[in-house]
Structure 1
Amino acid sequence: MSGEVAGPSWQPVPRARAHELVIAAIEGQILAGTLTVGDPLPPERDLAARLQVSRAGVREAIRVLEGQGVVRSHVGSGQGAGTFIAALPSTGLTRFLRLHVALGNFDLDEVVESRVALERTSAALTARHAGPEDLAPVTAALEAMDEPAIAPETFNLHDTAFHVAIAWAGGNRLVAEMTTAIRDSMRLPLQAAMRQTSDWAQVCAELRTEHHAIHTALADRDADRAAELTEAHIRRSYAVLFPR
């Protein structure tokens, strides 16, 4: 009939590959709480039969999940052999977040705002709860940055260690892992920006001063001041190193 509007054209959707179905099934068990850290997965043959997929699909799924840090496998026989839910899946989280940021999936403003949110929290937590032993790695990184005529690459290494140490001293592992990932992903861009600055000695001196002020606030257990100084430092350093 003339003038009739055509309806949507539906096309068959591709079937998921076998290993994706296996991954989805394992993720579902983890999210439901029926698989927890240290629990074994069924043997490859059993898992393939239960999910009605090929053993090759199960093997591929296990390889992917191992790469993500979700499972760990031990070959051989006996009680310790098999595939288990990993105790430290945060390694996979850090790796993937680091790669996503490094590949440019987030612009610089998003990185800055994320760092501010994370590191304000870390600074406040550290000021409230960390003792001298917890602050030791922060102090060590601070002292390393005070080396005269320090090269930008070396400064950036200790600068990263300073911020990451504060994150870990705060006691929130998720915040610390995310902070570590973001800092690692920005290592090369920050090094390049430091090398290209017109007066590295002056910029370095200003960054040192800000780091020392943050350290003092942490040692004084002044959570509000530590958070404010941390935010100001992050925003200013990006403004100086990445001028618009």
Structure 2
Amino acid sequence: MTVKKTRTFEDVLAQIERRIADDGLTVGDRLPAERQLAEQLGVGRSSVREAMRVLETLGVVSSQVGRGPDAGAILTSRPDTALTDLLRLHLGLATLELREVIDTRLMIERWSAARAAATRADTSALADALTGMEAAASAEEFVEHDTAFHCALADASGNRLIAAIMRSLRDAMRRYAVEAVERLGDPSLLHADHHHILTAIRSGDPDEATRAVADHLSHAYPALFGDTP
């Protein structure tokens, strides 16, 4: 049995960029289907799906639904500048301190939640992430779905730049979130917070959605909000 090497989606992005360059693809050409790309790159389909979502956010590809020759995303622009900037941003965020990460998240996620509530955005990805949290068997697994929830929240805002910034924050978010879950011991409070955020968005209540995000971050990182010495 061959064990595939696990790569972050940033590595997959770089691999896809090289494929586009090596194959001489131009605007209008179709990329291989998700399953085929995963096999060619030696990664899981979830990693390819995440990378393609970022490329679509950046306007590099346009997703297409289909089978056979109609499967695969369409290249809408060359990724050179946009992708390089995204990877540079990701590397620059690797050394951020907790306060910087949470302050940034508070600004982005409060606005995203209010916007999603006001526009009655699609919440299916948020609900899927909640389901994953419920079934999580470890802090790491819980945080994987927690991170997906917060990236989906940024997506729901409808602002592509906000969504790209949140995805660039993923590794910093994950690192501190695992520590927060382990410190709490029981993630039930955090899980309830996510339900609160989702309910407020579905209710179309921007003020309550904003409060729910702030409450959630204060529960996860009380020391930063004056709740603990």
TM-score of the aligned structures, taking structure 1 as reference length: 0.57
Query: Highest Rg: 1 or 2?
Result: 1
Show the 5 A alignment for 1:50-199: 73=21, 86=78, 90-102=82-94, 104=95, 106-131=96-121, 134-147=122-135, 150-195=137-182, 197=183, 199=184
C-alpha distance in 2 between matches for 1:157 and 1:146: 12
For the structure 1 residues 97 and 238, does the alpha-carbon distance in structure 2 shift closer, same or farther, using more than 3 Å as the test? farther
For the structure 1 residues 76 and 120, does the alpha-carbon distance in structure 2 shift closer, same or farther, using more than 3 Å as the test? closer
C-alpha distance in 2 between matches for 1:77 and 1:143: 38
For the structure 1 residues 75 and 231, does the alpha-carbon distance in structure 2 shift closer, same or farther, using more than 3 Å as the test? same
Q: Structure 1 stretches of 5 or more lacking a match? A: 1-65
Three-state SS of the structure 2 residue aligned to 1:186 is helix
% identical equivalent positions:
33
C-alpha distance in 2 between matches for 1:172 and 1:122: 8
Residue 196 of structure 2 is aligned to residue 206 of structure 1: no
For the structure 1 residues 128 and 75, does the alpha-carbon distance in structure 2 shift closer, same or farther, using more than 3 Å as the test? same
Q: Verify the 8 A CA contact 1:90 1:177 in the aligned structure 2.
A: no
For the structure 1 residues 185 and 95, does the alpha-carbon distance in structure 2 shift closer, same or farther, using more than 3 Å as the test? farther
Across the aligned residues of Structure 1 and Structure 2, the Cα RMSD in angstroms comes to: 3.4
C-alpha distance in 1 between matches for 2:79 and 2:221: 36
For the structure 1 residues 89 and 209, does the alpha-carbon distance in structure 2 shift closer, same or farther, using more than 3 Å as the test? farther
**Number of corresponding residues:** 165
Q: Verify the 8 A CA contact 1:94 1:180 in the aligned structure 2.
A: no
C-alpha distance in 1 between matches for 2:79 and 2:120: 25
Q: CA deviation at 1:87?
A: 5.0
C-alpha distance in 2 between matches for 1:78 and 1:239: 50
Cα offsets for 1:24-48 (capped at 9, x unmatched):
xxxxxxxxxxxxxxxxxxxxxxxxx
Q: CA deviation at 1:225?
A: 1.1
Q: Which amino acid aligns with 1:96?
A: R
Runs of 4 or more consecutive aligned structure 1 residues displaced over 3 Å after TM superposition? 72-80, 87-94, 240-244
Q: Verify the 8 A CA contact 1:112 1:235 in the aligned structure 2.
A: no
Q: Which residue of 1 aligns with 2:217?
A: 234
